[in-house]
Amino acid sequence: MNERLSSTDRKWTYGRRRGRKLRATQSQLMASLLPRLRIDLPAQGTLDPQTLFQPTKGLTWFEIGYGGGEHLVRQAAAHPEIGFIGAETFENGVAKLLAAIANQGLGNIRLLMDDALRLIAALSDAGIDRVFILFPDPWPKQRHHKRRVVSTRTLAELARVMRDGAELHLATDHPDYLRWMLAAATASADFEWPARRPADWRCPPSDWSPTRYQTKALVAGRKIFFLRLVRRQRLNRV
């Protein structure tokens, strides 16, 4: 098993936690709906993601840093049979997602309003079927690269919590971060990148749901890159 991230060696991957003041309706949702959907990390032991949903779901998908929640909401609405976990630290984004959950009556989303790396460290082995990390902060300055959420260390932890054959979907509009992602992916013995032609990283997956950030990037004329990594089969242990 890979060594888990500890609170002492982990570098925070998120930026600001708050933006503009929440509206009254948003504050009400934060007080009433978020506690019902919030994931409480165990003080000891591990967290089986299936225990977050009643009744339990057949599959569990996990989005790290969902922003305003556009992608997460569309995926959850399209797949009510799947349990969705979302991790986000930005209060305004959480409030926006809660409004969408309430408006659409979605019951298959659970949320962590904290660093996703804390949740990854707590999850039990091989319980996640798909992970999304879409347009994460590129932390472009070299001294901040250690805060990039996609790293060899994070991939090792994700490999532990993902089932064999599970997919990791990445997207970025930052060419340097793309190279960083590919370097981490190709250095990992746990993931393979099955791309065979340019369309495999230039075109989104067939079930892709556009995000607000993607729209901004396209309007600004930036290219979008999509990576699909697959969790390799674990070696049988004697």
Residue in the block written with tokens 């250095």? 187
Which is the catalytic residue, given 48, 125, 137, 200? 137
Those residues with Cβ within 8 angstroms of residue 217's Cβ, 6 or more apart along the chain or in another chain: 135, 173, 224
- The torsion defined by the Cα of 70, 75, 76 and 78, in degrees rounded to 10, comes to 120
Other CB atoms within 10 A of residue 4 CB: 16
Angle at 24 between CA 23 and CA 28, to 5 degrees: 120
HSE of 46 in the Cβ direction (CA atoms, 13 Å)? 13
Is position 137 annotated as part of the catalytic site?
Answer: yes
Cα–Cα distance, 102 to 33 (Å, whole number): 8
Catalytic residues: 137
